[in-house]
Amino acid sequence: MKSGLNLQLAALFVFPFALFACAQESAVEPMVPNAAVEQPAEVARPKFSITTDAVFDSATIPAYSGSHDAVYAHIDANLEAHIGELQRWMRQPSISAQNVGVRAMAEMVRQDFVDLGFQEAELVETDGHPGVWGYYDAGADKTLVVYMMYDVQPVDPEDWDSPPFEANIVQRPLGKVLMARGATNQKGPQRAFLNALQSIIATEGKLPVNLMITAEGEEELGSPHYPQIVDAYEERLRTADGVLFPMSGQSPNGKTTMILGVKGIVYFEAEATGGRWGGPRSAEIHGSYKVLADSPVWRLVQALSTLTSEDGNTVLVPGFYEDVRPPTDEEQRLINGLAATWNDEVMQGLFDVDQWIDDLTGRDAIVEAIYTPSLNIDGIWGGYTGPGTKTILPHMATAKIDTRMPYGQDPDKQLAKIRAHLDAQGYEDIVLRKLGAYPAAQTSVETALVQSVIQVVNKYTEPPTVNPRLPGSAPFYQFTERLGLPLLPAGLGHGSGAHAPNEYYVIEPAEGSDIAGLAEIEKAYVDMLYALGQ
Amino acid sequence: MKSGLNLQLAALFVFPFALFACAQESAVEPMVPNAAVEQPAEVARPKFSITTDAVFDSATIPAYSGSHDAVYAHIDANLEAHIGELQRWMRQPSISAQNVGVRAMAEMVRQDFVDLGFQEAELVETDGHPGVWGYYDAGADKTLVVYMMYDVQPVDPEDWDSPPFEANIVQRPLGKVLMARGATNQKGPQRAFLNALQSIIATEGKLPVNLMITAEGEEELGSPHYPQIVDAYEERLRTADGVLFPMSGQSPNGKTTMILGVKGIVYFEAEATGGRWGGPRSAEIHGSYKVLADSPVWRLVQALSTLTSEDGNTVLVPGFYEDVRPPTDEEQRLINGLAATWNDEVMQGLFDVDQWIDDLTGRDAIVEAIYTPSLNIDGIWGGYTGPGTKTILPHMATAKIDTRMPYGQDPDKQLAKIRAHLDAQGYEDIVLRKLGAYPAAQTSVETALVQSVIQVVNKYTEPPTVNPRLPGSAPFYQFTERLGLPLLPAGLGHGSGAHAPNEYYVIEPAEGSDIAGLAEIEKAYVDMLYALGQ
């Protein structure tokens, strides 16, 4: 049981969304030039209280009662062909970072939409790799948007037990798996979803809902041009009822976790260089001249040090903790539910940390994770970083920094506060370069989308853990905030190894496993579509 | 005149000594475990005053009046052969960092000592590349130690106008030069010195002084095993009268600068890692978990920030500015002399800095450079430092730091003060790793060694600028402090490009140049030996 819990909790932390970065870098101009230097007022992190003992329990939602036996039979009868469809996708490389096979994969996706009977199936040109748009008109009341990504991460073939683009069936302790780049992130779950469509259409003639599919080929690059795809269909997308992101939702022990929200993010670089304030402008100088020349590295260190308390955990930027929406009643119930399965020691063990900040535990740690903005240094560098000794006074130093924003905070406003604080402390010369930013996203557990998916999960396996919001980020705001649609990553099945060697997707689980195999994954998608169509 | 001054001043800053680093890393243990956190007392940099208007002027020292015409004639008659000797050395690669040709070069040096008639000529095995010891007994009263280095820096041959180990004669605006790795750093000046010995012995039968030569093959590695060479001959070396380091002492305009002292240095790494105090121990974790986990990067930033004032220029470590020996009368006279040729704007232009710290200029800047300990960050790194965005909370961050110490300060004591300060601020977990350390070194202008060299320089060219002490460091303490000997880097001639492509050594200066050619360089060494032997 311990290791099962361990693995389930691990799944909470592994969420394969790349950062959604802006394509354009932009300098953040000082807002308060030459403001007087003054110490920031006493700042404390906000403490939000959970005022209810009410607990959201997904077990109270009845399992989906529908049964679509003809469709299930079609899936079972065609399972070998369905596996072949997954292999066909995985055998087509589509490495966005290296532009390997990307357009061929886009064309394959488009052609599959045509073959399934979509009325619209077209490539969507962007300033980067093309998107793919598909529209299936079922004449239904409800319309579901499906987000897809057809690109994959690069590979180091020598690290793989089976070649990453052969998509072989491999026997593993968990059962028979497809091993391939993209197996679980996200070709496997996505093509399984299309297989479900195929069996519905073959058996029933048409789908129970209308579908709008937006597929991008740059998710692994941070989705820099995905907004252009949304732009092209924005008015039609607004008319939909929800957004589904097909994914492998089960841990190795079969437990399912659902994520209803994510934090926003601003990712930026802070840089000190020599110049008017002091220090060498154009190149490093001999380190002994620190005695006469200012140092951009010390400058950056001193500027950064003004941003946080001595322990690095409380941000001293005025207003940094403002605008956070306190826990709603719904979120409080979800937190109480999540707290029932939360185990700090297991998570700390996974991270190899001895304790959370301020020795927080349990529900207090969950609330901190969801409602406190964080300020993290992702990287810092300047000068000589090789082995041994080299004596230089570097002419520049840079830090990569991200702030994660709870629901309610505005990315540009947060960055402007940091800019204003540095200016007020006398660090107007520190350049801030925004590399990416978007706000938080939140979907209600009460939406028909989420309720339908929980019903289907409850039909096939144990009731899911529902996590109200990750401390991590994904660009779901494009749907939730921009288009006003609920969004849910959902699907049975298990896979792992995203961005790593030996990525796999379980096709036929081992005897006694609670993981869904491919047939069950597809049947669950069938049920979700019918449940949504009701 | 302006550009001449420019070039002369440039020479002040280009001093080709690598850092003398300890072979063994060693952790610096906390001295004050669990000391209460308290703010450091108000700290200010020491301000030393120059209380005399007396000026040292090397022009007041009479030019060397001796003339050794037979030796000079031998040099002139054998100049082509002497150039060939330089080429023979430069054509033997001896790249210590890559172990290319090192032992062959050591053997060549040893054999040259034998061929010159040295009574002792032997390789000195160390824990690294071998040293070479040579002893020439002239039956003289005076004994001169000569420090040599036979190793060179690595090369990128494609960046060179002439292959770095062909040692071709190349025509340059300054005249005919030998272009080769090691041309000026230090094979050219050193072999020119041996050529001078050869002509003296050939003409006069023996040298006017006894010689002890200690050559090392690891100067470009920071001389990690040079102390072992000194160990082997320590008692004999103590009996000598001074130490000469053959070098190219002239700027392109022919002006000569002499350096009488160097600052000491402690070079160390400061590192924050996860662990008991907080943060991930073993690997980076997802950046979004900054909200719950401590950050080693913030830890390092905050710890470093306690070391200096907000401008990074005043060190707040208690006692950091103690133990500095104030300017002696002699040093004050030398500073007044140096101030006469000091030009802040020219140096600031070379460094591309707008001003010195606190807008210091002239003599105030010289005093600051010589008598103020500095604390410099040579490099800092942690986490993701590549292009674009990657969201991680790194498990460690490291800075390379050096402090340069004026005469009087003790390296271990200075590092212990930094350790104690970090402990007192609550940063006992920050690891300090000492990579190298040695104290300052100072030679008096009144020594016979320095007076003799000034006399010889005054015979051949304009009186030299005498710089009492560089803000930079070199391991001269091995001679000045350990053995109690005066030490002087000296020689006419000009070369440049140490550690860079197209390194050269001027053999035959262009018409009208004030640079000494090879014949004059050798004649000056002849005169120095006779002047010292008096």
For residue B69, give how far its alpha carbon lies from the nearest alpha carbon of chain A (Å): 43
Name the domain boundary from A380, A408, A438: A438
CATH of residue B345: 3.30.70.360
**Rounded to whole angstroms, how far apart are CA atoms A247 and B432?**
47
- A318 in the same domain as A250: no
- A361 in the same domain as A250: no
CB contact under 8 A, B391 and A267: yes
Average pLDDT, chain B: 91
**Which residues in A lie closer than 8 A to residue B279 (C-beta atoms)?**
353
Task: Output the six-digit token pair for B244.
Answer: 């000469």
pLDDT, tens digit, 9 for 90 and up, residues B463-516: 999 999 999 998 899 999 999 999 999 999 999 998 889 999 999 999 999 999
Q: For residue B33, is pLDDT > 80?
A: no
CB contact under 8 A, A379 and B394: yes
For residue B376, give how far its alpha carbon lies from the nearest alpha carbon of chain A (Å): 6
Q: Touching check for A155 and chain B: CB below 8 Å?
A: no
Q: Touching check for B365 and chain A: CB below 8 Å?
A: yes
- A304 in the same domain as A401: yes
Write down the pLDDT at residue B35.
Answer: 36
**Which residues in A lie closer than 8 A to residue B295 (C-beta atoms)?**
312, 376-377
A·B CB contacts under 8 A: 288
Q: Touching check for B327 and chain A: CB below 8 Å?
A: no
Which candidate from B267, B285, B291 shows the least CB-CB separation from A351? B285
Name the domain boundary from A438, A467, A492: A438
Give yes or no for a contact between B430 and A312, defined as CB atoms under 8 angstroms apart. Answer: no
Give yes or no for a contact between B342 and B365, defined as CB atoms under 8 angstroms apart. Answer: yes
- B463 in the same domain as B424: no
For residue B87, give how far its alpha carbon lies from the nearest alpha carbon of chain A (Å): 30
**Rounded to whole angstroms, how far apart are CA atoms B103 and B491?**
27
A395 belongs to a structural domain: yes
B204 belongs to a structural domain: yes
Three-state secondary-structure class, residue A441:
strand
A61 belongs to a structural domain: no
Q: Touching check for B330 and chain A: CB below 8 Å?
A: no
CB contact under 8 A, B301 and A298: no
Q: Touching check for B168 and chain A: CB below 8 Å?
A: no
- A319 in the same domain as A434: yes
CB contact under 8 A, B293 and A357: yes
A107 belongs to a structural domain: yes
pLDDT, tens digit, 9 for 90 and up, residues A233-277: 999 999 999 999 999 999 999 999 999 999 999 999 999 999 988
Lowest mean pLDDT across A188-202, A305-319, B379-393: B379-393
Q: Touching check for B444 and chain A: CB below 8 Å?
A: no
Name the domain boundary from A406, A438, A470: A438
CB contact under 8 A, B382 and A384: no
Which candidate from B288, B353, B360 shows the least CB-CB separation from A404? B288
pTM value is: 0.88
Residue A132 corresponds to which amino acid?
V
Which candidate from B368, B385, B426 shows the least CB-CB separation from A292? B368
**Rounded to whole angstroms, how far apart are CA atoms B381 and A401?**
14
- A465 in the same domain as A355: no
- A272 in the same domain as A247: no
CB contact under 8 A, B471 and A292: yes
Q: For residue A19, is pLDDT > 70?
A: no
- B241 in the same domain as B269: no
- Total domains in the fold of chain B: 2
B174 belongs to a structural domain: no
**Which residues in B lie closer than 8 A to residue A353 (C-beta atoms)?**
274, 278-281, 285, 293-294
A189 belongs to a structural domain: yes
Write down the pLDDT at residue B276.
Answer: 85
**Which residues in B lie closer than 8 A to residue A422 (C-beta atoms)?**
none
CB contact under 8 A, B353 and A280: yes
Q: What is the DSSP string of A59-90?
A: GGSPPP----HHHHHHHHHTHHHHHHHHHHHH
CATH of residue B84: 3.40.630.10
Which residue segment(s) compose the domain that A14 sits in? Answer: 2-55+263-438
Which candidate from B265, B281, B391 shows the least CB-CB separation from A352? B281
- A249 in the same domain as A333: no
Lowest mean pLDDT across B130-144, B210-224, B304-318: B210-224
Write down the pLDDT at residue A42.
Answer: 60
- Contacts with B481 (C-beta within 8 Å, 6 or more apart), sequence order: B439, B441
Percentage above 90 pLDDT, chain A: 86
CB contact under 8 A, A305 and B305: yes
B509 belongs to a structural domain: no
Q: Which of A180, A178, A112, A99 is nearest to A146 (CA)?
A: A112
**Which residues in A lie closer than 8 A to residue B19 (C-beta atoms)?**
389-391
- A412 in the same domain as A335: yes
Q: Which of A95, A131, A247, A97 is nearest to A185 (CA)?
A: A247
Residue A98, preceding peptide bond in cis (omega within 30° of 0) = no
Q: Name the strand (E) or helix (H) holding B350.
A: helix B344-351
- A248 in the same domain as A296: no
Q: For residue B59, is pLDDT > 70?
A: yes
B290 belongs to a structural domain: yes
- B488 in the same domain as B428: no
Write down the pLDDT at residue B7.
Answer: 32
pLDDT, tens digit, 9 for 90 and up, residues A32-80: 333 333 444 567 898 999 999 999 999 999 999 999 999 999 999 999 9
**Rounded to whole angstroms, how far apart are CA atoms A48 and B324?**
55
Confidence class for position B42, pLDDT limits 50, 70, 90: low
- In this prediction the ipTM stands at 0.88
In the numeric block, the tokens 């490539």 are attached to A123
Which candidate from B352, B388, B435 shows the least CB-CB separation from A435? B388
Write down the pLDDT at residue A388.
Answer: 86
What does chain B come to in residues?
A: 534
